[in-house]
Protein backbone atom coordinates (compact mmCIF):
# COMPACT_ATOMS: atom_id res chain seq x y z
CA UNK A 1 0.00 0.00 0.00
CA UNK A 2 1.34 3.42 -0.88
CA UNK A 3 0.88 6.70 0.95
CA UNK A 4 -1.04 9.64 -0.32
CA UNK A 5 0.18 11.16 -3.58
CA UNK A 6 2.26 14.28 -3.08
CA UNK A 7 1.83 17.55 -4.91
CA UNK A 8 3.41 17.54 -8.41
CA UNK A 9 3.84 21.30 -8.67
CA UNK A 10 7.25 22.68 -9.69
CA UNK A 11 7.72 24.06 -6.17
CA UNK A 12 7.51 20.53 -4.78
CA UNK A 13 10.05 19.35 -7.34
CA UNK A 14 12.63 21.40 -5.40
CA UNK A 15 11.86 19.25 -2.35
CA UNK A 16 12.37 15.86 -4.00
CA UNK A 17 15.13 13.86 -2.31
CA UNK A 18 16.93 13.10 -5.56
CA UNK A 19 17.08 16.82 -6.38
CA UNK A 20 18.98 17.66 -3.18
CA UNK A 21 22.69 18.39 -3.47
CA UNK A 22 23.03 17.67 0.25
CA UNK A 23 21.68 14.14 -0.24
CA UNK A 24 23.98 13.50 -3.20
CA UNK A 25 26.94 14.56 -1.04
CA UNK A 26 25.73 12.64 2.02
CA UNK A 27 25.02 9.39 0.17
CA UNK A 28 28.30 9.64 -1.77
CA UNK A 29 30.16 10.17 1.50
CA UNK A 30 28.51 7.08 2.97
CA UNK A 31 29.50 5.02 -0.07
CA UNK A 32 33.04 6.40 -0.03
CA UNK A 33 33.42 5.49 3.64
CA UNK A 34 32.19 1.96 2.91
CA UNK A 35 34.82 1.58 0.18
CA UNK A 36 37.52 2.84 2.55
CA UNK A 37 36.47 0.59 5.43
CA UNK A 38 38.13 -2.71 4.42
CA UNK A 39 41.23 -0.90 3.14
CA UNK A 40 41.64 0.89 6.45
CA UNK A 41 40.77 -2.17 8.54
CA UNK A 42 43.80 -3.83 6.96
CA UNK A 43 45.84 -0.91 8.35
CA UNK A 44 44.13 -1.06 11.74
CA UNK A 45 42.61 2.41 11.30
CA UNK A 46 39.16 3.93 11.27
CA UNK A 47 38.38 6.58 8.67
CA UNK A 48 38.77 9.52 11.13
CA UNK A 49 42.06 8.02 12.37
CA UNK A 50 43.24 7.73 8.76
CA UNK A 51 42.50 11.43 8.19
CA UNK A 52 44.52 12.38 11.29
CA UNK A 53 47.40 10.17 10.15
CA UNK A 54 47.31 11.77 6.68
CA UNK A 55 47.80 15.18 8.31
CA UNK A 56 50.71 13.91 10.42
CA UNK A 57 52.29 12.12 7.46
CA UNK A 58 52.28 15.48 5.67
CA UNK A 59 53.85 17.28 8.64
CA UNK A 60 54.99 15.64 11.84
CA UNK A 61 55.13 17.54 15.12
CA UNK A 62 51.88 19.47 14.81
CA UNK A 63 49.72 20.52 17.73
CA UNK A 64 46.26 19.11 18.38
CA UNK A 65 44.93 22.52 17.36
CA UNK A 66 46.82 22.36 14.05
CA UNK A 67 45.38 18.93 13.23
CA UNK A 68 41.93 20.04 14.32
CA UNK A 69 42.10 23.09 12.05
CA UNK A 70 43.32 21.00 9.12
CA UNK A 71 40.49 18.47 9.59
CA UNK A 72 37.86 21.19 10.16
CA UNK A 73 36.88 19.64 13.48
CA UNK A 74 36.72 20.55 17.15
CA UNK A 75 39.91 19.80 19.14
CA UNK A 76 37.84 18.20 21.93
CA UNK A 77 36.33 15.65 19.55
CA UNK A 78 39.78 14.86 18.19
CA UNK A 79 41.33 14.05 21.58
CA UNK A 80 39.80 10.55 22.03
CA UNK A 81 40.85 9.61 18.50
CA UNK A 82 44.41 10.79 19.17
CA UNK A 83 44.54 8.92 22.48
CA UNK A 84 43.58 5.77 20.59
CA UNK A 85 46.32 6.33 18.01
CA UNK A 86 48.75 6.80 20.89
CA UNK A 87 47.61 3.61 22.64
CA UNK A 88 48.13 1.75 19.34
CA UNK A 89 51.71 3.02 19.23
CA UNK A 90 51.29 5.18 16.11
CA UNK A 91 51.80 8.61 17.65
CA UNK A 92 53.09 10.20 20.83
CA UNK A 93 51.40 13.12 22.57
CA UNK A 94 53.53 15.46 24.66
CA UNK A 95 52.84 18.78 26.36
CA UNK A 96 54.72 21.78 25.01
CA UNK A 97 57.44 23.05 27.31
CA UNK A 98 56.54 26.63 26.36
CA UNK A 99 52.80 26.23 27.03
CA UNK A 100 51.48 23.17 28.87
CA UNK A 101 48.02 23.71 27.37
CA UNK A 102 49.45 22.83 23.96
CA UNK A 103 49.77 19.13 23.05
CA UNK A 104 52.32 18.20 20.39
CA UNK A 105 51.80 15.16 18.18
CA UNK A 106 54.68 13.11 16.79
CA UNK A 107 54.68 9.98 14.69
CA UNK A 108 56.37 6.94 16.16
CA UNK A 109 58.46 4.59 14.03
CA UNK A 110 55.39 2.38 13.78
CA UNK A 111 53.31 5.39 12.66
CA UNK A 112 55.86 6.27 9.98
CA UNK A 113 56.00 2.66 8.80
CA UNK A 114 52.23 2.58 8.45
CA UNK A 115 52.47 5.31 5.80
CA UNK A 116 54.21 2.87 3.46
CA UNK A 117 51.45 0.33 3.98
CA UNK A 118 48.85 3.01 3.20
CA UNK A 119 50.36 3.92 -0.18
CA UNK A 120 47.98 1.58 -2.03
CA UNK A 121 44.82 3.19 -0.60
CA UNK A 122 44.54 6.13 -3.04
CA UNK A 123 44.84 3.86 -6.10
CA UNK A 124 42.20 1.53 -4.69
CA UNK A 125 39.86 4.50 -4.25
CA UNK A 126 40.61 5.73 -7.77
CA UNK A 127 39.80 2.29 -9.15
CA UNK A 128 36.58 2.02 -7.14
CA UNK A 129 35.45 5.46 -8.37
CA UNK A 130 35.39 4.31 -11.98
CA UNK A 131 36.73 7.74 -12.95
CA UNK A 132 39.93 8.89 -14.59
CA UNK A 133 42.41 10.65 -12.31
CA UNK A 134 41.92 14.01 -14.08
CA UNK A 135 38.14 13.79 -13.67
CA UNK A 136 38.49 12.90 -10.00
CA UNK A 137 40.86 15.84 -9.43
CA UNK A 138 38.38 18.22 -11.12
CA UNK A 139 35.57 16.89 -8.93
CA UNK A 140 37.75 17.31 -5.84
CA UNK A 141 38.52 20.92 -6.80
CA UNK A 142 34.81 21.64 -7.27
CA UNK A 143 33.95 20.11 -3.90
CA UNK A 144 36.69 22.09 -2.14
CA UNK A 145 35.34 25.24 -3.81
CA UNK A 146 31.84 24.39 -2.61
CA UNK A 147 33.11 23.68 0.91
CA UNK A 148 35.00 26.98 0.98
CA UNK A 149 31.93 28.90 -0.17
CA UNK A 150 29.76 27.25 2.44
CA UNK A 151 32.30 28.01 5.18
CA UNK A 152 32.37 31.67 4.13
CA UNK A 153 28.58 31.70 4.42
CA UNK A 154 28.83 30.46 8.01
Quick one: pLDDT at residue 23?
A: 97
Asked whether residue 142 is domain-assigned, the answer is no
Non-local (6+) Cβ contacts of 50 within 8 A are 36, 40, 43, 118, 121
Number of domains the chain is built from: 1
| pLDDT tens digits, one per residue of 28-65 | 999 999 999 999 999 999 999 999 999 999 999 999 99
Tell me, yes or no, whether 111 lies in a domain.
yes
β 91-95/103-107 pair status: antiparallel
Q: What is the pTM of this model?
A: 0.89
DSSP state of 3: -
The answer to whether residue 96 is domain-embedded is yes
Range of the domain at 52: 42-116
pLDDT digits (tens, 9 = 90+) for 81-139: 999 999 999 999 999 889 888 999 999 999 999 999 999 999 999 999 999 999 999 99
Could you tell me the CATH number of the domain that includes residue 65? 1.10.10.10
Amino acid sequence: MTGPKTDDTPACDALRLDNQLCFALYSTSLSMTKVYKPLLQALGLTYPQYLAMLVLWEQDGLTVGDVSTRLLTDPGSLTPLLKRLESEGLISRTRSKQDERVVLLHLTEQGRALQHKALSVPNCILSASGLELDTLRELQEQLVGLRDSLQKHL
